[in-house]
């Protein structure tokens, strides 16, 4: 059996195909029949458990049966997908997920194993697509944090519980407005009781979603233009009269391509400009944890609570000037892994200006310090628990850990024995908080059950099995937010912990996939300012 890598394709020699999907827990398998626009022609093109068959595609359990000869001519490709329930753990916590493809009556000849990178709850595993009169198969591996509803919506299926936020992905390729409107994107009104910081967090998230859908719409239009031109040129080349006349149709085909791409580009640029203005207008209102380091919100006495923190910015090659903040909601739902496997970058300006006084060494320690500062700004009641044998992060945090700054929840663990003791004490503390909550006696705890942030700087160096067990318990329990700094562990004992974490790498160029349309965004980390002596948190 041939193992396909993500993005790799192969020719299919038969028309009777069977796609099998396997996982180590219950999943739902589905397929979507897509037109050349990348969208379904209608909701009938969605094959799933409530609609298990359409011309050429049938679902039986976790197996898709495809008769490619019976697939309607208007269908350009069929995507084969797997998903878990919205409330289930994402695939990065679910273990193995793989798909096989067989050309019947032969056994499976292709296999693709999906490797999760985020909180994907739905994944496109294979696509089968037409090319030059035959069919090919490609391993996709594109995940959607929003689950099956997000995946289906991105391809034009109308989902009953669709959020009120207007989708911006086009339903047909010739559609020119990627966002479908010339006004600033509409945001669903927040529920009653929503605070101003929560409202701003929702708006920032909506801007990110609009940017993703606008870019996806632009790419869909360009792909349609390329496919249409390719088909037109192929038909010209197949006509001997056209070849004899010097291919006079190429000019009109190229003109139609340039016109559609030009309109799509102009519409996308308009969307980008609208979103950029929205971001600029929001910046003065952002709480410190979401704001750039030079913003007024960081001035003494101005720091206010926030429902989340900023971890860096994201951008796409189509619009490198639109830098969307990467937001992390608090409390952290999963550990943050700052990857030491990537070399630190050269010193740079954390404010985006040329002032060398703000330049710092860009690496995981700088990223950790910035995250700690932002988390404490978002919730000053949090107490920091630190395992730092090398002393790197202690030195970086400097005066923040000094007398009169009660941010530490206990002594810093500076060796392996102290680290093991710290993890044991945090597990005992988590158990006490659980019991106190059940008995309504949180006030009886020494610290009142304050939220905790654990930062470990040397994962997975020298961890014994009991330490890893305690760490897994803290992550699963959810009462302790966790930041891990360390190198990739391969198949080592901490591989499952790092694999279940949100990986952030230093340097510019690492990719993070959005949860709406699955585009890979270039990540630029937040390294924080060199001088943070003026930052004061009220305990």
Residue 208 has pLDDT above 80, yes or no: yes
Max avg pLDDT among 210-214, 245-249, 412-416: 412-416
pLDDT computed for residue 403 by the predictor: 66
Report which of residues 484 and 494 the model is more confident about: 484
pLDDT band at 190 (very low <50, low <70, confident <90, very high): low
pLDDT of 367 > 60? The answer is yes
What is the model's pLDDT at position 184? 36
Q: How far apart are CA 137 and CA 99, in angstroms?
A: 12
Rounded Cα distance between 134 and 151, Å, is 27
Q: What percent of the chain has pLDDT over 70?
A: 83
Q: How confident is the model at residue 94 (pLDDT cuts 50, 70, 90)?
A: very low
Q: How far apart are CA 110 and CA 4, in angstroms?
A: 7
Q: How confident is the model at residue 178 (pLDDT cuts 50, 70, 90)?
A: very low
Strands (DSSP E) found in 372-498: 383-387, 452-459, 480-486
404 compared with 178, residue with greater pLDDT: 404
Reading the block at residue 389, the tokens are: 């044998």
- What are the pLDDT digits (tens) for 105-158? 888 999 998 876 667 889 999 999 988 788 999 988 888 888 898 898 888 887
- Quote the pLDDT of residue 145: 82
- Strands 28-34 vs 57-60: parallel, antiparallel or unpaired: unpaired
> Which residues, including other chains, have CB under 8 Å from residue 132's CB and lie 6 or more apart?
234
Which of the four pLDDT bands, split at 50, 70 and 90, describes residue 249?
low
pLDDT of residue 365: 94
Q: Are strands 9-11 and 134-144 parallel, antiparallel or unpaired?
A: antiparallel
pLDDT over threshold 90, residue 357: no
Mean pLDDT, residues 479-506 taken together: 86
Dihedral angle of Cα 448, 407, 427, 87, to the nearest 10 degrees: 80
Query: Cα separation of 120 and 146, whole Å?
Result: 7
Q: Per-residue pLDDT averaged across 11-26, rounded? A: 91
pLDDT band at 309 (very low <50, low <70, confident <90, very high): very high
Q: How confident is the model at residue 344 (pLDDT cuts 50, 70, 90)?
A: low
Spatial separation of the C-alpha atoms in residues 207 and 209, rounded to whole Å = 5
- Taking CB atoms within 8 Å and a gap of at least 24, the contacts of 393-401 are 393/365, 393/368, 393/369, 393/455, 393/457, 393/485, 396/365, 396/366, 396/368, 396/369, 397/369, 397/372, 398/533, 399/533, 400/372, 400/373, 400/532, 400/535
Pairing of strands 122-131, 134-144: antiparallel
Length of the chain: 539
Q: What is the mean pLDDT of residues 414-418?
A: 95
Question: Could you report the per-residue pLDDT of 117-126, keeping only the tens digit for each?
Answer: 667 889 999 9
How high does pLDDT run on average in the chain?
82
Q: Mean pLDDT throughout 326-331?
A: 94
Q: Which of 230, 225, 231, 235 is nearest to 258 (CA)?
A: 225
Q: Is the per-residue pLDDT at 5 higher than 70? A: yes
Pairing of strands 383-387, 452-459: parallel
**Confidence at residue 238, expressed as pLDDT on a 0 to 100 scale:** 61
Query: Is the model's pLDDT at 166 over the cut of 50?
Result: no
28 has pLDDT over 70: yes
Q: Please give the pLDDT value at position 19.
A: 97
CA dist 37 → 130, 151, 216, 318, 504 (Å)? 13, 15, 11, 19, 33
Q: Which two tokens stand for residue 488?
A: 């990739």
Q: Is 69 helix (H, G, I), strand (E, B) or coil?
A: helix
Model confidence at 491: pLDDT above 90: no
Number of CB atoms found within 10 A of residue 399's CB: 11
| Residue 531 pLDDT | 78
């Amino acid at each position: 059996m041939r193992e396909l890598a993500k993005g790799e394709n192969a020719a299919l020699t038969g028309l009777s195909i069977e796609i099998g999907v396997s996982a180590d827990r219950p999943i739902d398998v589905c397929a979507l029949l897509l037109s050349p626009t990348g969208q379904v022609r209608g909701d009938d093109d969605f094959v799933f458990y409530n609609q298990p068959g359409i011309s050429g595609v049938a679902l039986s359990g976790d197996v898709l049966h495809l008769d490619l000869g019976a697939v309607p001519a208007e269908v350009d490709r069929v995507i084969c997908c797997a998903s878990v329930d919205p409330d289930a753990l994402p695939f990065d916590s679910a273990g193995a997920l793989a798909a096989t493809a067989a050309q019947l009556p032969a056994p499976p000849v292709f296999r693709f194993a999906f490797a999760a990178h985020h909180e994907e709850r739905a994944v496109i595993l294979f696509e089968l697509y037409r090319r030059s009169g035959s069919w090919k198969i490609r391993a996709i591996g594109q995940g959607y944090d929003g689950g099956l509803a997000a995946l289906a919506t991105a391809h034009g299926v109308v989902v009953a519980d669709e959020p009120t936020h207007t989708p911006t992905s086009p339903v047909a390729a010739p559609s020119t407005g990627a966002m479908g409107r010339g006004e600033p994107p509409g945001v669903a009104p927040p529920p009653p009781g929503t605070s101003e910081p929560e409202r701003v967090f929702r708006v920032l998230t909506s801007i990110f979603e609009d940017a993703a859908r606008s870019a996806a719409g632009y790419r869909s239009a360009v792909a349609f233009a390329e496919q249409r031109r390719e088909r037109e040129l192929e038909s010209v080349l197949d006509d001997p009269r056209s070849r004899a006349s010097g291919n006079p149709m190429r000019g009109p085909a190229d003109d139609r391509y340039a016109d559609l791409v030009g309109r799509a580009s102009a519409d996308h640029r308009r969307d980008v400009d609208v979103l950029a203005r929205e971001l600029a207008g929001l910046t003065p209102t952002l709480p410190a944890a979401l704001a750039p380091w030079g913003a007024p919100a960081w001035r003494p006495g101005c720091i206010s609570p926030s429902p989340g923190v900023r971890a860096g910015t994201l951008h796409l090659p189509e619009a490198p000037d639109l830098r969307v903040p990467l937001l992390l909601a608090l409390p952290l739902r999963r550990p943050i892994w700052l990857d030491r496997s990537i070399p630190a970058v050269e010193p740079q300006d954390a404010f985006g200006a040329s002032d060398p006084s703000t330049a710092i060494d860009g690496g995981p320690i700088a990223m950790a310090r910035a995250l700690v500062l932002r988390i404490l700004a978002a919730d000053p009641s949090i107490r920091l628990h630190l395992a730092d044998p090398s002393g790197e992060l202690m030195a970086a945090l400097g005066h923040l850990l000094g007398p009169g700054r009660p941010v530490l929840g206990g002594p810093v663990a500076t060796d392996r024995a102290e680290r093991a003791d710290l993890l044991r004490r945090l597990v005992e503390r988590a158990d006490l908080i659980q019991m106190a909550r059940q008995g309504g006696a949180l006030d009886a705890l020494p610290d009142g059950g304050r939220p905790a942030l654990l930062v470990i700087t040397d994962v997975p160096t020298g961890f014994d099995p009991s330490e890893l067990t305690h760490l897994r318990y803290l992550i699963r329990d959810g009462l302790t937010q966790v930041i891990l700094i360390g190198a990739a562990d391969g198949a080592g004992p901490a591989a499952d912990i790092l694999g279940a974490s949100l990986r952030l790498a230093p340097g510019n160029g690492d990719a993070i996939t959005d949860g709406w349309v699955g585009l890979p965004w270039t990540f630029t980390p937040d390294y924080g300012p060199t001088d943070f002596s003026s930052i004061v948190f009220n305990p």
